[in-house]
Amino acid sequence: MGMSNYYKDLREKLGGDLIFIPSVAGVRNETGEILFQNKGNGEKWSLPAGAIELGEAPAEAVVREVWEETGLHVVPDELLGVFGGKNFRYEYPNGHKVEYVVFVFDCIVKGGEHNPIDSETAELRYFSVDDMPQLALPYPKSIFAERENQKTVFQWDGK
């Protein structure tokens, strides 16, 4: 669906300057493989992801974003991790700069087909943790590993 009116309005006011965007990502299949998206524009691979809209809860946003970018109907099952900060800054090919705070969810696929609704996806492919492509954002591989009795990962220096 592309950029919402809210973010379009921000961009009109700020141009390509750095903006802070709360966002969501994630989906994995029943065998534990992670679904990644290739936008086909020279960017690195990413999780199906996108911005949380005004008035939208993170879990609602991941359902909407995954559907828009993949054509899959999902239900969030678990919060895998929360990431952000300077390592989650990104510059798009058009020069727009963002700093994401990302809520990464493990989602259960309930239906649908790999048929993106928006124009942001050129290719969708499942990868194992050991065979992941290079990603646009530095998600730790550990969040994608089998997670029986593991806790949510919070990115911070206090470890």
Strand partners, 24: 50, 103
The confidence score (pLDDT) of residue 56 equals 95
The confidence score (pLDDT) of residue 147 equals 64
Q: Which residue did the predictor score with more confidence, 29 or 36? A: 36
Using the predicted structure, report yes or no on whether residue 55 has a pLDDT greater than 70. yes
The confidence score (pLDDT) of residue 98 equals 94
The yes-or-no answer on residue 56 being catalytic is no
- Structural domains in the chain plus CATH codes: 5-129 (3.90.79.10)
**Dist CA 129 CA 133 (whole Å):** 9
Per-residue pLDDT averaged across 136-153, rounded?
81
Q: Among 29-43, 59-73, 135-149, where is mean pLDDT lowest?
A: 135-149
Per-residue pLDDT averaged across 121-139, rounded?
92
**Dist CA 159 CA 156 (whole Å):** 6
Per-residue pLDDT averaged across 6-33, rounded?
89
Active-site residue, selected from the candidate residues 43, 123, 146, 148: 123
Per-residue pLDDT averaged across 25-43, rounded?
87
Using the predicted structure, report yes or no on whether residue 151 has a pLDDT greater than 60. yes
Model confidence, pTM? 0.88
Q: Among 63-72, 106-115, 116-125, where is mean pLDDT lowest?
A: 116-125
- Which is nearest to 6 in space by CA: 19, 18, 158? 19
Share of the chain above pLDDT 90, in %: 60
**Dist CA 19 CA 97 (whole Å):** 7
- Which is nearest to 48 in space by CA: 33, 75, 67? 67
